[in-house]
Chain A
């Protein structure tokens, strides 16, 4: 088995691949190798001895015990391994599988690196595959949409500036019925704790904000939440491979604090 035996249809991957040529793929692969990560990737690819120790660290491999193509080393072989061997000259159909694997069969958790006797970082290798995918415009539809949201609103779920504050005030109001005098202090200068969340909280799980406020209130700590964008501590651009936007999100979050 291998990735080409389990392809699934995704609007984003299909759209991206439809615009590729082998030459385009080669150009981007070569430029990323030359400017971003070539030496480290080469060292990893030359030193992996196929011992398979990393398989025990990977939840994808553990949940497919009869299919070695999910092991970290095999996933590298099917993606970066192919790109290194061919110098990036692969056909768009092959690249579809490479992208699908990089985005859906490794979540960059880096557990495997702790199992590898020589410290090969498969999560890093996969993030570089994703970097190449981003540069070629081949990203799955829904993760790309969250990256678009991040670039626009600085949160991953298109939560607009006013919806965010309104949600905090709504949860503060609700919580006050249970805890009179509870506050969600906004933009409090010099507070001890800056509390940030991820966008699914205001979007779908507002009670989590209520509960956090209840805990802070009961603990009597000096805390605050920002009213401005920068409140979302997640970063889907890091996961799509859009490292330029990743930097912008990180900066916004830190400067917000």
Chain B
């Protein structure tokens, strides 16, 4: 598949597949997955004759397998799934399995462009990552929370560096967890490591660590900040400066710290899911100025609107737009953009999508079982059975709508101004 600039951005609708119904030779088909460019729709299928395969635009893969799961399109449009044959697992990309097989495979990951496909592997009780069929040389006693660099050249994984006897409190508290990058564990080990995260260049990794049962801090490439905190959440690299920003809890309240220095005073009952603009100048986070009252703070200044819950915070590339969702006990969903609430209350809403130039915001919403879009707060004039997240064209002028409706998979390109 081509990069987004070369996708078909001609305004109009086309039917990608007229019927996603089960074909005669299939016992059942699973939920459809649509490619990023909307040109392909895939389902996993159980064959009447036995075994499983995938149907992509209705065409079966040439191979079938004993089991198939985790259907995912790579950003470059290749359809991947985890497949099992003769008790061994691997990844199949457009139906072609990797040559290497493993005792288990899960958690498929992609590089930003989609040219690298990676997954977690377990082989003989040892854990690691396999990228494009190449497993790590070093495997570990356990591995979880994989992450890939944007270019897919490096992978990081939280790993266990020594085995633990059952209920061995001393050994655990001495610290047997670390982060491995491309199979090499950091020299330092910790009681726990969580949420490793690469910087924009893929050169450094930051993770939350617990150095004792009580002390939380951030380790960057295995070296910890000089400060530790009562609690913290996942770190993010500032894409412009390379500094690491993480929510921290100090003196009973939450704020943000950067490289071990407080940058947002800890005054919130909660502070998490921080996002940073590409120029590094704007930081937004979901915060609770009071217990049970959530909103968004931009550069430490909370919006005046409050909700029992706020989720799905996003920031535009330039930082000029900040959007999130508010809800009340998983109902009454509202869209929040730049401190204001869009009109309308929804049974469900999904993460807002901000256009590349920050000029427009589109959000998938659902009411009474029908899904639609809001574009800059206006309802799109049509509803669907199911929608994928909307995608803006690289120039921000068009919107790609990928939908399943009345049993068909359709691809619509709309002018944002008229959507």
Question: A residues bordering B, Cβ < 8 Å?
Answer: 11-12, 15, 35, 134-135, 137, 141-142, 144-145, 148, 151-153, 160-162, 165-166, 169, 180-181, 183, 185-190, 227-229, 242, 244, 247-248, 251
B169 at the interface (CB under 8 A from A): yes
Given contacts A144-B169, A160-B142, contact A166 B104 (CB under 8 A): yes
Q: Please, which residues of chain A bring their CB within 8 A of the CB of B28?
A: 181, 183
- Name which of B210-218, B236-244, B353-361, B395-403 contacts chain A: B210-218
The 6 closest A-B pairs by CB, nearest first: A162-B104, A145-B167, A244-B231, A162-B122, A148-B172, A161-B144
B70 at the interface (CB under 8 A from A): yes
B344 at the interface (CB under 8 A from A): no
Instruction: Say what secondary structure dominates the interface of chain A.
Output: helix
Please state if A141 and B167 are interface contacts (CB–CB under 8 Å). yes
B380 at the interface (CB under 8 A from A): no
Inter-chain CA distance A188–B386, complex, in Å, is 13
- Across the two chains, which residue of chain B brings its CB closest to A191? B31
Given contacts A15-B169, A145-B169, A229-B144, contact A161 B69 (CB under 8 A): no
Q: Please, which residues of chain A bring their CB within 8 A of the CB of B120?
A: 161-162
Given contacts A160-B142, A166-B104, A244-B231, contact A15 B69 (CB under 8 A): no
Inter-chain CA distance A181–B172, complex, in Å, is 43
Q: Please, which residues of chain B bring their CB within 8 A of the CB of A134?
A: 213
Q: Please, which residues of chain A bring their CB within 8 A of the CB of B103?
A: 162
Please state if B231 and A227 are interface contacts (CB–CB under 8 Å). no
Rounded to whole Å, the gap between the CB of B392 and the closest CB of chain A is 21
Q: Please, which residues of chain B bring their CB within 8 A of the CB of A165?
A: 69, 104, 106
Q: Please, which residues of chain A bring their CB within 8 A of the CB of B143?
A: 161
Rounded to whole Å, the gap between the CB of B72 and the closest CB of chain A is 10
Inter-chain CA distance A229–B145, complex, in Å, is 9
Please state if A242 and B104 are interface contacts (CB–CB under 8 Å). no
B293 at the interface (CB under 8 A from A): no
Given A11-B169, A244-B231, 7 new contacts (CB under 8 A): A141-B169, A161-B143, A165-B106, A190-B366, A190-B386, A244-B216, A244-B230
Q: List 30 A-B contacts (CB under 8 A).
A: A15-B170, A35-B252, A134-B213, A137-B213, A142-B167, A144-B167, A145-B166, A145-B167, A148-B169, A148-B172, A152-B160, A152-B192, A160-B122, A160-B142, A160-B144, A161-B106, A161-B107, A161-B120, A162-B104, A162-B106, A162-B127, A186-B69, A186-B70, A187-B70, A188-B31, A227-B106, A229-B144, A244-B214, A244-B230, A244-B249
Rounded to whole Å, the gap between the CB of B399 and the closest CB of chain A is 21
Please state if B70 and A227 are interface contacts (CB–CB under 8 Å). yes
Greatest chain B CB density within 10 A among A11, A166, A227, A248 is at A248
Inter-chain CA distance A244–B127, complex, in Å, is 28
Rounded to whole Å, the gap between the CB of A24 and the closest CB of chain B is 13
B15 at the interface (CB under 8 A from A): no
Rounded to whole Å, the gap between the CB of A144 and the closest CB of chain B is 6
Q: Please, which residues of chain B bring their CB within 8 A of the CB of A180?
A: 27
Rounded to whole Å, the gap between the CB of A36 and the closest CB of chain B is 8
Inter-chain CA distance A142–B167, complex, in Å, is 6
A169: contacting residue among B46, B67, B216, B366, CB under 8 A = B67
B9 at the interface (CB under 8 A from A): no
Q: Please, which residues of chain B bring their CB within 8 A of the CB of A137?
A: 213
Inter-chain CA distance A187–B31, complex, in Å, is 11
Rounded to whole Å, the gap between the CB of A11 and the closest CB of chain B is 8
B65 at the interface (CB under 8 A from A): no
Rounded to whole Å, the gap between the CB of B389 and the closest CB of chain A is 11
A153: contacting residue among B106, B144, B172, CB under 8 A = B144
- Across the two chains, which residue of chain A brings its CB closest to B192? A151
Rounded to whole Å, the gap between the CB of A61 and the closest CB of chain B is 30
Inter-chain CA distance A79–B177, complex, in Å, is 35
Produce 1/0 per residue, B59-97, CB < 8 A to A.
Answer: 000000001011000000000000000000000000000
Please state if B213 and A242 are interface contacts (CB–CB under 8 Å). yes
Q: Please, which residues of chain B bring their CB within 8 A of the CB of A229?
A: 144
Inter-chain CA distance A141–B366, complex, in Å, is 48
Rounded to whole Å, the gap between the CB of A244 and the closest CB of chain B is 4
Inter-chain CA distance A165–B122, complex, in Å, is 12
Interface residues of B in 176-212 (CB under 8 A from A): 177, 191-192, 194, 210
Rounded to whole Å, the gap between the CB of A128 and the closest CB of chain B is 15
Greatest chain B CB density within 10 A among A11, A151, A152, A188 is at A152
Please state if B169 and A152 are interface contacts (CB–CB under 8 Å). no
Q: Please, which residues of chain B bring their CB within 8 A of the CB of A161?
A: 106-107, 120, 143-144
Produce 1/0 per residue, B215-239, CB < 8 A to A.
Answer: 0100000000000001100000000
Rounded to whole Å, the gap between the CB of A209 and the closest CB of chain B is 16
Q: Please, which residues of chain B bring their CB within 8 A of the CB of A142?
A: 167
Rounded to whole Å, the gap between the CB of B259 and the closest CB of chain A is 22
Rounded to whole Å, the gap between the CB of A77 and the closest CB of chain B is 29
Q: Please, which residues of chain B bring their CB within 8 A of the CB of A244?
A: 214, 216, 230-231, 249
Inter-chain CA distance A35–B106, complex, in Å, is 43
Q: Please, which residues of chain A bring their CB within 8 A of the CB of B192?
A: 151-152
